Amino acid sequence: MAARSMLRSVWTSFAGLKLGATGSNVIFQQRTNVPQLSTLTIQSRGIRQVVEQQEGKTTTIEGQILNIPATPEPPNPAAKCPIYRWNLQHKYNYTDVLLLSQFIRPDGGLLPRRVTGLCLEEHRKIAICVQMAHRAGLLPDHKPKPPENRNPTKPRQQLNRYLTPWSIDTVKPIYKVGLKWSKRRMAVGSPLLKNNVRYGVKHMNTKH
Partner 1 sequence: MSSFSRSAQQWATFGRSWFLIDARMQPPGKIATMCAIRLQGKHKPIYHALSDCGDHIVVMNTKQIAFSGNKWEQKVYSSHSGYPGGFKQLTAAQLHHKDPKAIVKLAVYGMLPKNLHRRTMMQRLHIFPDDELPEDIRANLTEELPQPREVPRTLSEYTQEEIDAFPRLWTPPENYKMK
Report the interface residues with partner 1, using CB under 8 A: 15, 35-38, 40-41, 43-45, 71-72, 74, 82-83, 85-86, 88, 94-95, 97-99, 101-102, 105, 115-118, 136-142, 157, 159-166, 168, 171-175, 177, 186-189, 208
Q: Whole-angstrom Cα distance, residue 16 to residue 1?
A: 23
18-43 as b/e: b if 16+ CB within 10 A: eeeeeeeeeeeeeeeeeeeeeeeeee
Give the β-pairing of 47-55 and 58-66: antiparallel
Structural contact between residues 50 and 33, judged by C-beta atoms closer than 8 angstroms: yes
By the 10 Å C-beta count (0-12 exposed, 13-18 middle, 19+ buried), 118 is classed as buried
Please, what is the minimum distance in Å from the beta carbon of residue 21 to partner 1? 26
Closest distance to partner 1 from the beta carbon of 206 (Å):
9
Question: Closest separation between CB of residue 139 and partner 1, Å?
Answer: 5
User: Which of residues 26 and 166 has its CB atom nearest to partner 1 in the complex?
Assistant: 166
Nearer to partner 1, 120 or 159 (CB): 159
Nearer to partner 1, 58 or 208 (CB): 208
Q: Nearer Cβ to partner 1, position 140 or 152?
A: 140
Comparing CB distances to partner 1, the nearer of 24 and 95 is 95
CB 165 within 8 A of CB 204: no
Contacts of 14 (CB under 8 A, 6+ apart): 33, 63
Q: How far is the CB of 179 from partner 1 (least distance, A)?
A: 15
Least separation in angstroms between residue 17's CB and partner 1 is 12
CB 65 to partner 1: min, Å: 11
Pick the closer one to partner 1 by CB: 5 or 67. Answer: 67
Measure Cα distances from 153 to 72, 143, 148, 149 in Å. 51, 21, 13, 10
